[in-house]
Amino acid sequence: MTQDSEDVLLTARQWLDDGKSVALATVIETWGSSPRPAGSRLAIDQDGRLVGSVSGGCIEGAVARRASQVIADGEPCLMEFGVADEQAWSVGLACGGRIRLFVERIEP
């Protein structure tokens, strides 16, 4: 189930208030067909809980795994998945589109 960006940010804020480390993934660009529009967000806490959506399916799993590293080292990253990208096929983006995400650790 997806939630709007405000709900995602409110949940992320609550996780931070509870003392959890949190990363935020945001769709910054899309090309062609993509499951979620630019501005869509996914928050991930240190325990692997997710709220929101940036794509769906296995792509969110790949983003969550990368977010764990971002939480640990604090280094933001860009991720891109597309139909021409072998990684995209392996995680299930066969819709003919491409998405670019920014993943960052957020602080209280």
Q: What is the 3-state secondary structure (H, E, C) of 72-87?
A: HHCCCEEEEEECCCHH
Read off the DSSP letter of residue 29: E
Range of the domain at 61: 5-106
Per-residue pLDDT of the chain in tens (108 residues, 90 and over written 9): 445 778 999 999 999 999 999 999 999 999 877 778 899 999 999 999 999 999 877 788 999 999 999 999 999 999 998 755 555 555 555 556 789 999 999 998
* Residues whose CB falls within 8 Å of the CB of residue 79, separated by 6 or more in sequence, listed in order: 25, 62, 63, 66, 100, 101, 102, 103
How much is the pTM? Answer: 0.85
Report the pLDDT value the prediction gives residue 1, as an integer from 0 to 100.
40
Sign of the CA dihedral running 75, 61, 43, 26: positive
Q: How many domains does the chain have?
A: 1
Strands (DSSP E) contained in the chain are 22-31, 41-45, 50-52, 77-82, 98-106
Tokens of 37: 């529009």
